[in-house]
Amino acid sequence: MKYENRKDEIIQTAALLFKEKGYSAVTMRDIAKAVGVRAASLYNHIKSKQEILSEIIIALAEQFTCGMNVIQDAEISSVEKLKRIVKLHVDITANNQNGMASLNNDWMHLEADLDYYLRLRKDYENDFRTILNEGIAKGELINFDSEVMLFSILSTLRLLYGWIPRREELNPNYLADKLSGVLLEGVIR
């Protein structure tokens, strides 16, 4: 059972098209054709093109917020928290590669939900920053510029969506492990 219902089918189909061409370049007629229906029929299930984008992005942003809250409250080392963040990104991305493209590239086309999205993203980044600074303070992490560390790790995790699909043979646990290794331990012997 690939889709829960027609609305879900429309949203998932749209997410695929948004990933390939971006939100603005995809028309309601494109989505309709991919679903096998006329453009006007889409409006029996969704309110607007905007609503499709919002449902894709907000659902994902809330998954990240939720996952981060769990990690933050766990009583584990800072390094372990970083590993769980990597795992969080790998898991969410593996389950929704197409939607992650919209989250990364089309968030600025949100209208009603733009402020809400920006708040979620800012909070997420602040939580991430806090974990890094705690790790530095406790001596678990090298005392590099924590902004550079945040940017470096997060940008890799953000582009996972365009990379995972090409290596479907990999299971998420293996990938999260390897990625944690490279991101946290570096590449120099």
List contacts with a copy of itself (CB under 8 A).
20-25, 79, 82, 105-106, 108-109, 132, 135, 139-142, 144-145, 147-149, 151-153, 155-156, 158-160, 163, 167, 175, 178-179, 181-189
CA distance 56 to 174: 27
Q: Which residue has the tokens 């409250």?
A: 73
Task: Choose which of 12, 16, 33, 45 interacts with DNA (CB under 7 A).
Answer: 45
Q: Indicate the residue among 6 and 172 with the shorter CB distance to a copy of itself.
A: 172
Report helix angle 49-73 to 97-105, nearest 10: 100
Query: Which segment (35-43, 53-61, 102-110, 147-155) binds DNA by CB under 7 A?
Result: 35-43
H/E stretch holding 39 reads none
Q: How far is the CB of 33 from DNA (least distance, A)?
A: 10
Output the CA–CA distances (angstroms, integers) from residue 86 to 24, 43, 93, 165, in the order listed: 30, 38, 11, 17
Q: Indicate the residue among 33 and 109 with the shorter CB distance to a copy of itself.
A: 109
Structure tokens at 100: 């992650």
Among residues 95, 105, 97, 89, the alpha carbon closest in space to that of 16 is found at 97
Structure tokens at 57: 């992005």
Q: How far is the CB of 7 from a copy of itself (least distance, A)?
A: 25
138 part of the interface to DNA, by CB under 7 A? no
Number of residues that bind DNA (CB under 7 A): 19
Name which of a copy of itself, DNA, none residue 109 binds, using a CB cut-off of 5 to 8 Å depending on partner kind. a copy of itself
